[in-house]
Amino acid sequence: MRIVRFAHPAGMSFGVLDGDGQVAQIEGHPFGQISFTGQRFAAADVRLLSPILPSKVVCIGKNYADHVAEMAALTGDAPKAPLIFLKPSTSVIGPGDAIRIPPGSTNVHHEVELAVVIGARGARSVTEEQAMASVFGYTIGNDVSERDMQVSDGQWTRAKGFDSFCPLGPWIETDLAGLGKDPADLAISCTVDGEPRQSGRTSQLIFGLPMLISYISQVMTLLPGDVILTGTPAGVGPIAPGQRVECTIEGLGTLANTVSGADPTSTAGGSR
């Protein structure tokens, strides 16, 4: 089942994307028993949003050996245990939204990643054997990263936490097995303006999904809708305003985003 979050003339809703391209609206959120409203929308009449707004995005650094090798001069050797960091919820954008380059930055990189979406039961202190029962589904993520800041800061919050630095989408696939796909062995790739940049398979992950979910759950409770970005293969590189980034994962479609300059809009009001 392909779960989407979408904007339509009456507001925003969750829905199920049918094989005919129509979106069937559901009541409330998609966790638990799904109830349909009976309302259907043609794909041309809706805009897909990020399929979930997580309380947190938990990311895994240096989880493909080839990416570790290409980044060794900047970030060192492969970790002995999963390297985890967070992206704020404000970094999340959806398909078609623009990745915004911070003012003065010339070294922002794309990072295509398999994104795991946690289900209704959440995950806290689960074993590896229990971990996959916590998964609601899978989507595509792009762990956009400002490399100069990543190196200079010594930790990665600023470099990976800018608004728009976490595209997610286009949908959450809840039944990869029904498509004959295994999340542990999916083709994963990224292009920029049609030029191939990244290519790999999730079978190349240093730490697999059960281990990652279990490990993170010993540190923090994963709530329904939280997202885990599992790491990126080699081939990361710079992006610039005017370009188009397309992240593709087998069975999950393509997440496409344009790149633009920074948004100078301030929320500051006048004096009171």
Q: Please, are residues 173 and 154 in contact by the beta-carbon 8 Å criterion? A: no
* pLDDT, the chain, mean: 94
In tens, the pLDDT along 133-157 reads 999 999 999 999 999 999 999 899 9
In tens, the pLDDT along 84-104 reads 999 999 999 999 999 999 999
pLDDT at 73 (0 to 100): 65
- How many residues appear in the chain? 272
Specify the higher pLDDT residue, 210 or 68. Answer: 210
Q: Burial code of 60-82, b = ≥16 C-beta within 10 A, e = fewer? A: bbbbbeebbebbeeebeebbeeb
Closest CA to 102 of 240, 225, 207: 240
- φ/ψ region of 242 (left if φ > 0, alpha if ψ in -120 to 50, else beta) reads left
Place of tokens 């999950």: 252
Q: Please, are residues 185 and 208 in contact by the beta-carbon 8 Å criterion? A: no
Domains in the chain, CATH or no CATH each: 2-48 (2.30.30.370), 57-260 (3.90.850.10)
Q: What's the chain's Rg over C-alpha atoms?
A: 18
Q: Is the dihedral of CA 30, 32, 37, 42 positive or negative?
A: positive
- Under 8 Å CB-to-CB from 142, ≥6 apart: which residues? 99, 110, 111, 112, 113, 166, 167, 168, 190, 245, 247, 255, 257
